[in-house]
Amino acid sequence: MDKVKKRSVDRASQYMLKRAEEEHIPTAWDRLEAMQPQCGFGQLGLCCRNCNMGPCRIDPFTEEEQTGVCGASRDTIVARNFIRMIAAGAAAHSDHGRDITHALWLAAQGKADAYGIKDEEKLEALACEYEVKVDGRSKEEIAEELAEKIFADFGRQHGELRMPLRAPEKRIKLWRELGIMPRGVDREIVEAMHRTHIGVDTDYKNVLMHGFRTALSDGWGGSMIATELSDILFKTPRPIPARVNLGTLSPEEVNVVVHGHEPTLSDVVVDAVRDPEIVELAREKGAKGVNLVGMCCTANEILMRHGIPVAGNFLQQELAILTGAVDLMMVDVQCIMPALSSVASSFHTKLVTTSPKNKAPGVTHIEFREEEAYEIAKKIIKMAIENFPNRNGNEIRIPDENQELVAGFTAENIYNFLGGTYRATYRPLNDAIVQGRLRGLAGVVGCNNPKIKHNFGHIEMAKELIKNDVLVVVTGCSAIADAEAGLLTPEAAFKYAGKGLQEVCEAVGIPPILHVGSCVDNSRILIALTNVVNEGGLGEDISDLPVAGAAPEWMSEKAVSIGCYFVASGVFTVLGSPFPILGSKNVTSFLCDEVEDILGAKFAFEADPVKAAHLMIEHMDRKRKALKLKPLMYQ
């Protein structure tokens, strides 16, 4: 048991890891062990394979100025590798945003029956921002023109992206002065690839500043588009109770797990599992019904809007199959481990890929098309039901872990709840900070990584922050980790929060940690911070606020892009493990120090989540001092 306790703090995961060990089924933790020692050049960012004169690698231990065959210095190589990570992360988020735009565009033309406009108010507000005429037009006409205008933002060649104009004025001015105001989403990503091609940009600072521009085109571009249009198409979330962890799988029902990121298929599956034909078929096959659960960010999308249970976060995807109770797992894009097919082959589980961008050898592929979304959803669920009788009853081991949570917070509804009334104002939140009831705000986001004990970083950091009167907002796998530890309930405030935060939570009945959605929904945090600035009394820019961000268990390139757009927006950001940049002292000192003078924020790396929380708290205290705020009420 010791080994599994070292791998995860979550009891359900420990239980499944034990099974994996007994049955000799390797998981990500075993593969990480087998991979040791990992490539030191790669870890430090010192390996360049951007051309065929290489691969080149720079000796990390020499003081001599070594270069690659082309003459690229260690600074250039490290900076180039780093911004290629940003470009890949921004591409993933933004392509997700583009797919949602495509669904809206089809729905507006009546070509995708499964979708409709679910939030007309938001549609009209966004249309006004994009200068789309609203008066006297149908919602479909408005939506079609809006989708076209948003498509244009992806490929914009001149001018500026629309959504960054939502940022505080001072920040916009800074971005313009620095030449990092993003133009088109695709343009910034393409330019990142161009600049890092052999023989282009060798000035590491110039390379890194373009990295920030690319990241901004994600946070204030592709991701924000994904969030806004998902709200319009699938409805804007409201606080909603639900359940989380592997115990949400049912021994008596057909278990369908949706895993990945985009809500275009999963949202339709929510309706399809309730279809009388489906319910009837499930009964015919001896099941009590169909139990739909989510995994990773697709889970967060349908949790936020429909209260669908969450089976787990990134490191639990293999463990879900190890229960022997998953009849079908359908996946779309991002964070889907290629190892799933081999784990599934040890059980009756059917694995189905659905995106033309993500197929896997030997895995059933049922291609998703928005035009036939409902039929395709039903086809996949029927396949799950047909597979139910193939379950081996003796093989099923579902852990008895099934926690309550409340999710569904947004930049718009946070103020309603914190206000204690339905006034559309951030005043009560700002006042709570100004008067010292709250110390500040923190966003804790990002992945799991088997290099860090599963969920440990997220949970310990969040607990330390709330104990110190910091209101925490969470997304992605971090939100799921906290939910599994019971932190996303109003009761958690009494157990773990400091007195000031407790008072705020008690007054309005909210958890001390607010789940604001999937990883693209980090854009909700940017908007919330902007609203705090605009409300007044806490400075003129996001960098003036007593706020901080963190990704204690990050692993994906998307997390790199997220970190960079938070820093570029003025948020001090702490990572649980370093970026692969330590091979260059100059790049490291630029990102972890000098950039604060340029952008008003910087990165820090700290593996201990409690120490990391204190870096964030110290930062908030410095900002409080600079703003001459009152001392904290209870600390």
* Three-class DSSP category at 114: coil
- For residues 496 and 512, the answer to whether their CB atoms sit within 8 Å is yes
Q: How far is the CB of 261 from ligand BF8 (least distance, A)?
A: 6
Nearer to ligand BF8, 87 or 335 (CB): 335
**DSSP classification of residue 613:** H
What is the distance between the alpha carbons of residues 18 and 3, in angstroms, rounded to a whole number? 9
Q: Which of 447, 466, 527, 545 binds ligand BF8 (CB under 6 A)?
A: 447
Q: How far is the CB of 575 from ligand BF8 (least distance, A)?
A: 13
* Three-class DSSP category at 256: strand
- For residues 219 and 566, the answer to whether their CB atoms sit within 8 Å is yes
Nearer to ligand BF8, 226 or 591 (CB): 226
Nearer to ligand BF8, 25 or 315 (CB): 315
Q: How far is the CB of 475 from ligand BF8 (least distance, A)?
A: 7
Nearest to 96 by CA among 305, 262, 298: 262
Q: Between residue 251 and residue 290, which ones bind ligand BF8 under the rule CB under 6 A?
A: 261
Q: How far is the CB of 626 from ligand BF8 (least distance, A)?
A: 32
What is the distance between the alpha carbons of residues 249 and 3, in angstroms, rounded to a whole number? 25
Nearer to ligand BF8, 89 or 570 (CB): 89
Question: What is the H or E stretch that residue 138 is in?
Answer: none
Cis-peptide, bond into residue 168, ω within 30° of zero: no
Q: How far is the CB of 260 from ligand BF8 (least distance, A)?
A: 8
Q: Is 519 in the site for ligand BF8 (CB under 6 A)?
A: yes
Q: How far is the CB of 450 from ligand BF8 (least distance, A)?
A: 12
Nearer to ligand BF8, 335 or 487 (CB): 335
Residue carrying structure tokens 């082959």: 345
Nearest to 68 by CA among 78, 79, 57: 57
Q: How far is the CB of 612 from ligand BF8 (least distance, A)?
A: 17
Which x/- pattern, by CB under 6 A, does the window 496-515 give for ligand BF8?
--------------------
Question: What is the H or E stretch that residue 216 is in?
Answer: helix 204-217
Q: Please write down the HEC assignment for all residues of 504-549.
A: HHHHHCCCCEEECCCCCCHHHHHHHHHHHHHHCCCCCCHHHCCEEE
Q: Is 314 in the site for ligand BF8 (CB under 6 A)?
A: yes
Q: Between residue 321 and residue 360, which ones bind ligand BF8 under the rule CB under 6 A?
A: 335
Nearer to ligand BF8, 385 or 477 (CB): 477
Q: How far is the CB of 556 from ligand BF8 (least distance, A)?
A: 4
Which x/- pattern, by CB under 6 A, does the window 167-186 give for ligand BF8?
--------------------
Nearer to ligand BF8, 337 or 396 (CB): 337
Q: How far is the CB of 521 from ligand BF8 (least distance, A)?
A: 10
Nearer to ligand BF8, 97 or 600 (CB): 97
Q: Which of 292, 296, 304, 560 binds ligand BF8 (CB under 6 A)?
A: 296
**DSSP classification of residue 288:** S
Q: Between residue 566 and residue 605, which ones bind ligand BF8 under the rule CB under 6 A?
A: none
- For residues 385 and 374, the answer to whether their CB atoms sit within 8 Å is no
Nearer to ligand BF8, 94 or 430 (CB): 94
Q: Is 476 in the site for ligand BF8 (CB under 6 A)?
A: yes
Q: Between residue 540 and residue 559, which ones bind ligand BF8 under the rule CB under 6 A?
A: 556, 558-559
Number of alpha helices (DSSP H) and beta strands (DSSP E) in the chain:
28, 16
Q: At what angle do helices 456-467 and 609-626 cross, to 10 degrees?
A: 40
Rounded (10°) CA dihedral 239, 440, 546, 555: -60
Q: How far is the CB of 2 from ligand BF8 (least distance, A)?
A: 26
Q: How far is the CB of 620 from ligand BF8 (least distance, A)?
A: 24
Cα–Cα separations (whole angstroms), residue 305 to 242, 301, 308: 11, 7, 8
Token pair listed for 282? 């499930």
Q: Is 477 in the site for ligand BF8 (CB under 6 A)?
A: yes
Token pair listed for 619? 């930062």
What is the distance between the alpha carbons of residues 112 and 114, in angstroms, rounded to a whole number? 6
Q: How far is the CB of 213 from ligand BF8 (least distance, A)?
A: 21
- For residues 515 and 408, the answer to whether their CB atoms sit within 8 Å is yes
Nearer to ligand BF8, 217 or 556 (CB): 556
β pairing state of 56-57 and 47-48:
antiparallel
Q: How far is the CB of 559 from ligand BF8 (least distance, A)?
A: 6
How many residues make contact with ligand BF8 (CB under 6 A)?
A: 14
Nearer to ligand BF8, 248 or 561 (CB): 561
Token pair listed for 487? 């932190």
Residue carrying structure tokens 């787990």: 312
Nearer to ligand BF8, 107 or 559 (CB): 559
Nearer to ligand BF8, 458 or 623 (CB): 458
Token pair listed for 432? 């709570």
What is the distance between the alpha carbons of residues 319 and 46, in angstroms, rounded to a whole number? 34
| Residue 254 bridge partners (DSSP) | 290
Q: Which residues bind ligand BF8 (CB under 6 A)?
A: 261, 296-297, 314, 335, 446-447, 476-477, 518-519, 556, 558-559
